[in-house]
Structure 1
Amino acid sequence: MAERDDDRKAPERTCVATRRALPADDLIRFVRAPDGAVTPDLKRELPGRGVWVTATAEAMRLAVKRKAIARGFKEPATVDPALPERVDELMERHALAMLGFAQKAGRVICGFAKVEAALRDEPVIALVEAEDGGADGVRKLGQALARHGKASEVRVVRTFRSAQLDLALGRSNVVHAALLAGPVSAAFLARCDALVRYRGVNGEGPDPADAAGPTRRGAGEPAGTDRA
């Protein structure tokens, strides 16, 4: 039991792909199921010996290519070649689940008009906008951020599609949502950060100062595409 606790609680672990020692929060833990299949343990809760990989898709692909994960268990283990994509899906699902918890806690406001009002009256810490939403709404909310002096303090997250936001929030046609301050909201943003780091892309929308000006991205889109 002590060995298991040490594995999960150690402040640093070594990535089997890069051989670099990193803080545990910067890595993903994997365990071996009874049938030998390797399973991601994003919450670090599963028992057994753990193998750690730097929490980026690049490191994951390298670990799979070099068969470093299987070797790390020192006993027969089966690694799905699509494990990097599976990890991405799990991280995305966990982030959206936390957004759903924020909704249940009353920390999410949906709908363009309500979001615009919230930017004026509520402790908004982030805008969550569908990555496939219309550019006109992005521009208008950017203008609202600038108008209320919040362009530098409110994040813009454009990591998820509208259909994904619909499922997470239990609504239809979600394009714009305001995230109010709170522990669950902070946890959601932390999971978004982990996801975009894993993907190696910028998961935030255009800079609010840019969004407040003439729209360059998505030129030619119809202006009336904003829904909820």
Structure 2
Amino acid sequence: MRKPRNDSLETHNPERTCILSRRTASREDLIRLALSPDAEVAPDVRARAPGRGAWIGVSKSDLDAANAKGKLKGALQRAFKANEVTVPADLGDRIASALRQAALDRLGLEARGGTLINGNDKIDAAARSGKVHLLIHAADAGEDGRRKLDQAWRVGGGGPRGLEFPEERTILSMALGRENVVHIALTDPAAARRVSHAIDRWLAFIAPDAGLEGGSAAVGAGVGNELNEGTK
């Protein structure tokens, strides 16, 4: 079975500048915004839309505040070199939704690529033998189940505890196309990096006090530790 492509995380990663904070970061750590044919700004979290893009590296709360004050529109007009720019009032919510879907899609790709396992017994055995590179628990996972798998991961040389995914088992099950997915383990280091990056970007954006450029440290530090290392 083919494994998921390693994406641009493992290739040269050019930098971009956030139009609001003016800080520079890797484009993989920022969020691209694109302009639709009718001049409406839309999230382009996979950075695939044609034409000129604008990049942001702030949290949702900061983006919403800048949008409400009109600061975001001015920055976007300059970035797109266009006077006619429509900025949806719920742009922050749209970005958060797109990042959430990107994280779920990433999990689905890894499941189909064979780099992801679920099921307590399978994860326990893999964790104790040092084959787990990232451990994830559904938001509604039981404390006893989390504790047992966290311990198994530590025994195998993994991190102190698994990452709590901000969705419940029903959503994870749908994303993976499997039944009753409560715990997930990534058994390939590159896959673990891809998944943790997708989750980290989402969490960094929706966290109230962390922008994307600071999000890897502020929000995703636990994920990084758990790896046990590991514009147009």
Q: TM-score, normalised by structure 1?
A: 0.75
Verify: 1:114 aligned to 2:114, yes or no. no
For 1:166 and 1:174, the matched residues in 2 are separated by: 5
**Aligned residue in 2 for 1:92:** 100
**Aligned residue in 1 for 2:67:** 64
1:29 deviation in Å?
Answer: 1.7
Q: How does 1:105-184 map to 2 (within 5 A)?
A: 105-121=113-129, 123-151=131-159, 155-184=162-191
Counterpart of 1:172, as a letter, is: E
For 2:195 and 2:164, the matched residues in 1 are separated by: 11
Match of 1:50 among 47, 50, 53: 53
* Deviation readout 1:135-157 (Å, 9 max, x if unpaired): 111111122223334345x7534
For 1:129 and 1:174, the matched residues in 2 are separated by: 9
Counterpart of 1:120, as a letter, is: R
Verify: 1:24 aligned to 2:31, yes or no. no
Distance change in 2, residues 1:146/1:43 (3 Å)? closer
Verify: 1:199 aligned to 2:202, yes or no. no
RMSD: 2.7
Verify: 1:36 aligned to 2:39, yes or no. yes
Distance change in 2, residues 1:37/1:107 (3 Å)? same
Structure 2 SS opposite 1:29: strand
For 1:57 and 1:112, the matched residues in 2 are separated by: 35
Structure 1 SS opposite 2:185: strand
For 1:41 and 1:129, the matched residues in 2 are separated by: 28
Counterpart of 1:188, as a letter, is: V
* Aligned residue pair count: 198
78-87 or 175-184, which deviates more: 175-184
1:122 deviation in Å?
Answer: 5.4
For 2:54 and 2:156, the matched residues in 1 are separated by: 48
1:55 deviation in Å?
Answer: 4.3
**For structure 2, which runs of at least 5 residues remain unmatched after alignment?**
1-11, 209-218, 227-232
Q: TM-score, normalised by structure 2?
A: 0.74
Max Rg structure: 1
**For structure 1, which runs of at least 5 residues remain unmatched after alignment?**
1-8, 209-228
**Aligned residue in 1 for 2:110:** 102
1:56 deviation in Å?
Answer: 2.2
Counterpart of 1:71, as a letter, is: Q
Structure 2 SS opposite 1:49: coil
